[in-house]
Amino acid sequence: MSSLLFPILLTAAAYAKAKTALAKLTNTNKAALATGMGWEKGPCVGNIAAITAIGFPELCLQDGPLGVRYAPGVTAFPAGITTGSTWDTSLMYARGNALGTESKALGVHVQLGPVAGPLGKIPQVEYEMHLSDWKLNRIGWKELGSFSNDPYLAGVAMAQTVTGMQAASVQACAKHFIGNEQEHDRSSMSSNIDDRALHELYLWPFTEAVKANVSFVMCSYNKVGPAWACENGTLITNILKNELDFQGWVVSDWAAQHTTVGSSNAGIDMSMPGDNFGDNKFVWGVALVSAVSSNQVAQSRLDDIALCILAGWYFLGQENSYPTITGWSSWSTATSGAPSVSGTHNTVAQAIARDGIVLLKNSNNALPLKKPASLAVVGYDAVLNPQGANACVDRDCDNRTLAKGWDSGTAQFPHLIAPLDAIKAQASTDGTVLATSTSDTPSAGDSAAASAATALVFINADLGEGYITVEGNAGDCNNLDSWHNGNDLAAAVAALNKKTIVVIHSVGPLILESILTLPSVVAVVWAGIPSQESGNGLVDVLYGSTNPSGKLPFTIAKAAADYGTSGLFIDYRHFDKNSIVPRYEFGFGLSYTMFSYSNLFISALRAATPSAGIAPGGLKSLYDVAATVSATITNGTVEGKEVAQLYVSLPSDSAGASGNPIKQLRGFSKLDLKPGGSGKVVFELRRKDLSFWDTGNKSWIVPTEKFGVVIGASCRDGRLTGTLGS
């Protein structure tokens, strides 16, 4: 193992135990430790056979990022993208800790999450050979598990989630390493990412997960350059294990391993599920032992594989009275005797569903609703699937309200509070006369919309994982339109009701120009993918018991053609570079109050420590604090939360790095303020936050010129500006 970049992941004690256990294992044992038992050969989606000689149990790897897949009695948490839109580190941690707590109680050792990407794919375009080579023919936004397409925001969320999960003694998995940016042809395409974009964008969230001591990393299906990601030694060994000093273990995605020798020597440490979905053709197992015997794979490589896996198990104390799986299986609906593990985690789920809501438009203070005399609720998306919340396998349908997308990371809903159900309860309390039309046919809502003082229109847009096709969408969505003619429905209602409020459930951005510009559409709410507490979280915001505080984790454009990806320039970086005005910029979100910013303070730039070194192997200094920036945020008349965002501009032509993005997110802080109250936000800028990756020297460089500093309410709402450096 190389010298450590971050605090020791796998402690000396864990490695000492692992080495003692390793000495008792034969090569057959070691290969078994690294080879999945086979598809559906154990209760979990991934299973490693027990080794009684060392007291190693049958290790359970289970989906997923949103909840424990297939298990009963669990919480179905909001999607990563909705968690990201809270911009709340405490909720990110709480969600991760709740996921870990439920996983451990069910006997799960390894939870397959969190998800780091995609980053650069809005709107999305099919890979030719390079991320900078696009043709606009397909939209993909696989954001069910991931938090944002900004690497800094995604990195913070990854770190908080990992820390929360592993505090519950469950091993977290950062995935998918790397370049898994779309579902279309993911098992055959090549993601060719230039070195600077790789380090500054795509690698960034994984680096933060490693810094947070993530136990293991999952490699991806796609190729990166000529090699499969799970057989790419440059990525796995040179970058992940050596450059980042990752001390954990690397697992293949299911059926992402192609050869025995190539994957072994590239640096992966575990094969899942072993036989590639039940074909009984194990890539490792006996074949790995034979490869070692024939010197195609070094004995030291096999030993290192086993050592990493064992050390990860010991690191979190999983050898000590860990729960066993009782009463549930991924392959059976029978759940007799399975524990209920959700506890009070519904409160975490509701807080995220609520605080992840982004208020996009609010003309003349149309929201919050104040005991309206009459209210129309219109749209397919307002109600529960009549066959039940869990009627569609892996949520493979868009049948009524959208609370989860479809993929292998879904969890069973213990319940699903649809918007209309929660609104009915509030309307009953308020004495509001309620009219409903739960069809997406524009003409169907006419009578309901015309009869009410205010109309709520619900629309959605779904997507998921590529092994399922829903309404012609094979994982990636085919365009950036709402599904089921949602925009037409909203326009039809707005033609009849002069106080129309549109609520959107979607996994990512939509083009909304046809409704946003209508004067009768007085408010627009993006409610993300809220999961089980959907209606409860929404009512909290619509009726004002909670002030909306969500901020967009992506940019909403006026037209699909406004988006683009070219090297470093994704999302708001692209809009800035090309002077494109978005409909709603990254970081945008309205409130029922107003916040003012003052008292900007920027410290002097601190010199690097003498032992710094900025080259690989000496990167630790990049996490030293280089400068401190602070400001005061003051609230107006309504209690609320504000997300103060820090953006940094590297010099426009730093030595060796021309063409820097105009600005990049490098800090955020969410304050909860009483009416008239003030609070201080303090941002510690690390040297890495002020660096660029020099592709020639293969190192991080901190420019010597002045940096621009902006603190504001979004990437285009800078309230305070200054400079850092001499």
- Burial class (CB within 10 angstroms; exposed 0-12, middle 13-18, buried 19+) of 171: buried
Structure tokens at 282: 């194990």
Q: Which residues pair with 716 in a beta bridge?
A: none
Q: Is 621 left (phi over 0), alpha (psi -120 to 50) or beta?
A: alpha
Cβ–Cβ < 8 Å for 373, 441: no
Cα(385)–Cα(400) distance, integer angstroms? 5
DSSP 274-288: SSTTT----SSTHHH
**Dmax of the chain from CA atoms?**
81
Cβ–Cβ < 8 Å for 502, 454: no
Cβ–Cβ < 8 Å for 65, 130: no
Closest alpha carbon to 492 in 534, 541, 437, 544:
437
Cα(336)–Cα(722) distance, integer angstroms? 62
Separation of first and last alpha carbons in the chain: 40
Say if strands 126-127 and 110-111 run parallel, antiparallel, or are unpaired: unpaired
Q: How far is CA 58 from CA 7, 101, 278, 335, in A?
A: 29, 19, 19, 20
Question: Does the annotation mark 304 as catalytic?
Answer: no
Closest alpha carbon to 643 in 89, 46, 74:
89
What is the number of residues in the chain?
Answer: 726
The catalytically annotated residue of 253, 304, 576, 689 is 253
Cα(665)–Cα(149) distance, integer angstroms? 12
Closest alpha carbon to 458 in 407, 388, 398, 395:
398
Cα(592)–Cα(576) distance, integer angstroms? 28
Report CA Rg, the chain: 25
Cβ–Cβ < 8 Å for 253, 175: yes
Rounded to the nearest 10 degrees, how much is the dihedral formed by the CA atoms of 39, 44, 49, 54? Answer: 160
DSSP 26-53: -HHHHHHHHB---TTSSSSSEEE--BGG
Cα(574)–Cα(566) distance, integer angstroms? 8
DSSP letter assigned to residue 581: P
- Burial class (CB within 10 angstroms; exposed 0-12, middle 13-18, buried 19+) of 230: buried
Q: How far is CA 135 from CA 178, 217, 478, in A?
A: 21, 31, 14
Cβ–Cβ < 8 Å for 537, 416: no
Cα(236)–Cα(231) distance, integer angstroms? 8
Cα(127)–Cα(505) distance, integer angstroms? 28
Could you give the residue numbers annotated as active site?
A: 253
